[in-house]
Structure 1
Amino acid sequence: MNEENKDEAELGYTLLPKHFGKRFDSNIAKISLERAKDINLKRITAIIAPNNLPYRKILMKMGFEL
């Protein structure tokens, strides 16, 4: 959670390259967003590397905006 605003949190995680493409990233994001709703978070942000197109695609599918 954001220390200044308890209604906000940032979604972030790192996977080892050997786990890329195994849907862990989309499952982690989905479960994290479900939990955020459960605890009534109002805003979730995610900061990604500009060249991380697969993760950007996952977040866009889940309703994130650029």
Structure 2
Amino acid sequence: MDKSVLVFHSFEEAERADEAYYASLTPQERVDLLLDLVASYRESMGEAAAGFERVCRVVELERC
């Protein structure tokens, strides 16, 4: 990851730079960024990063 510091003269200028940065990412880079954020959140909450638990339930419907 390339770390850099940028200085902006206004909040609007910083917002435009953020929007331009995220717009320049490929879809795969966006997904990778999201997965990194989810993993960081789960670790901070003390949850295992094993993945999502699969849940399945069969419910019988009544016939009218």
Higher relative contact order (CA 8 A, sep 6+): 1
TM-score, reference length from structure 1: 0.34
TM-score, reference length from structure 2: 0.35
* Structure ranking higher in strand proportion: 1
